[in-house]
Amino acid sequence: MIVYTQANTPIDLSDKPLSKGGEGSVYELKNYPGRVAKLYNTMQDAAKRESKITEMVRFSKTASFQNARIARHIAWPLAPLYDAKRRFIGFGMQKIKSAYELDQLYEYPPKKAHGFSTADRVKCLISICETIEALHSQGQVFGDFNPNNIKINSDCSVTFIDADSYHFRSGFREYRCTVCLEGYAAPEVIRNVMGTNYEKCPGKTFTKESDCFALAVHIFRMLMNGIHPFSGVKLSPRKGSPAHPVRKDKMVELCQTPFFNPRCTRTPSPYAPDLSLLPDYMKELFKRAFIDGDRDPSRRPDAREWKQALVRFSGELVRCRRDKLHYYRRGLRTCPYCEVEDRRARKHALPTSNTHALAPARQQPGTSARYFTAPPAQMQPANITVTPGGAASLKRSKLFGAMTFRVPMLILSGIFEYMMLNSLLPALFKNFMKMPGLITFCSGLCALAGFIVSCVFVFKFAPGRRSNRYCWWEYPAVIGTAFIGDAAAALAIGIIVTLSVALLIIGVIAALGSAFLEG
């Protein structure tokens, strides 16, 4: 089969398609390794997508798109393709090589053959957040967050396919996403589309906020044995047997999540781990995504906020002694995933192969990385690489944080303290103390206090300290905290000096009065 580019260059395709779908088929390009072509099944489908694909190709050539490196992790249209009659029939894109689909990781009970531990799942989620953040930074929206369209690579990075169905914007024109898998549409989208469809809806459909809702659903499912946050079991008041199921979109529309809405009429699935698995800061993010976001979609956490929370959560994971694929939050007495396994074993009368039921976690010494602290046993911590942002190892990440923030800022803070010691602070104290040695001593105390406060900020409170990637405002914040420490110490010394002088004057007056009365 021969297809043609815009420049009328012929391209030879493979004889058999790599894959077939309801919309089109994917063929390999013989002379272009790493590239494939998606050809639509009918000319009608191709005609509907021609203008959208043309705009997406034009957008892919912009500097901002290329700097965001979106094409590395999204099968974005890179060139329109035509037949011999110059009719649009499809487009070229990068070839996707992946081991699994995201939906396979939601299966319960999990397939051990997949080999993905909880720590690996968190790493996959961070990669998803990075890709979403990159696309949102370009003003674009995913729309249909179908887990079948998210491919998982062996290194836990992800790749998105079916980009031609995205909710794409070009100038003032909007190319809508016309489908969405049930359970991933945000409540405001469901209400707006009611009585119509995604293509003909007169109001808004997919937005960055609706993407953030679907992202929260994926994060919840990945950490909770694939359980959807808006699924649950309604018990009969007499027998306690399950009633008929309710569609997930209806549950989303009514904000009926049994995990975060106390008024929900359903109870969580018995295969869902206890919410104690999640730290409080992640529970708050889910509440914002599912409860607060139902009233105000802007309240939902975005991809960047989720990424920061997941990086923090990964640093709190410890490995279960009973199952090497289970990682859970440090501080819990038992493994929540093992508790679910035991409930399933009791329900189905399954044999247990380990007598150490619900064994406490075994801390992994020296395991820390940018994205997760407790890696699988077969992976060495020094070889853990970050997802899509780069390939910096653990040591390089720490060295980068030290050389770009900690060391320069502490040196700059020390220079600032020296300047305060030799100029500003002596000027503040000269009206109270005439002894140069005492002035230097008090100035040194102020400088030391400021330096200590700046160190505390750098090593304990700076948001970038966990990932060793710092925001621009954290640099002046170091100097600001040093100044606060200086000012606080100077104020304390000033108060002490003032009170001492006042007490001295009162003592002199009292002594003179006593002597006058005795005389």
For residue 487, being part of any structural domain is answered with yes
My answer on whether 377 and 410 are in the same domain is no
My answer on whether 64 and 125 are in the same domain is no
Range 262-270 average pLDDT: 87
In this predicted structure, the answer to whether residue 509 has a pLDDT above a threshold of 50 is: yes
Q: Report whether 133 contacts 158 (CB < 8 A).
A: no
My answer on whether 57 and 109 are in the same domain is no
Last residue of a domain, one of 391, 419, 452: 391
pLDDT of residue 31: 83
My answer on whether 299 and 423 are in the same domain is no
Average pLDDT score, the chain: 80
For residue 235, being part of any structural domain is answered with no
Q: How confident is the model at residue 180 (pLDDT cuts 50, 70, 90)?
A: very high
For residue 481, being part of any structural domain is answered with yes
My answer on whether 126 and 90 are in the same domain is no
pTM of the model: 0.67
Task: Tell me the residue range of the domain where 68 lies.
Answer: 2-94
Q: How confident is the model at residue 49 (pLDDT cuts 50, 70, 90)?
A: very high
For residue 411, being part of any structural domain is answered with yes
Strand order in the sheet with 327-329: 327-329, 317-320, 361-362
Range 334-347 average pLDDT: 90
My answer on whether 247 and 281 are in the same domain is yes
Q: Report whether 374 contacts 364 (CB < 8 A).
A: yes
Average the pLDDT over each of 170-174, 298-302, 368-372, 439-443 and give the range with the smallest value.
368-372
My answer on whether 383 and 432 are in the same domain is no
Neighbouring CB atoms inside 10 A of 243's CB total 12
My answer on whether 123 and 183 are in the same domain is yes
My answer on whether 147 and 85 are in the same domain is no
Neighbouring CB atoms inside 10 A of 1's CB total 12
Last residue of a domain, one of 45, 78, 94: 94
My answer on whether 349 and 472 are in the same domain is no
My answer on whether 460 and 500 are in the same domain is yes
My answer on whether 160 and 73 are in the same domain is no
Burial of 31 (0-12, 13-18, 19+ CB in 10 A): exposed
pLDDT of residue 245: 53
- The number of distinct structural domains making up the chain is 3
3-state secondary structure of 4: strand
Query: CATH number of the domain that 108 lies in?
Result: 1.10.510.10
Q: How confident is the model at residue 37 (pLDDT cuts 50, 70, 90)?
A: very high
Last residue of a domain, one of 332, 367, 391: 391
3-state secondary structure of 51: helix
Instruction: Compute the distance between CA of residue 498 and CA of residue 439 in angstroms, rounded to an integer.
Output: 15
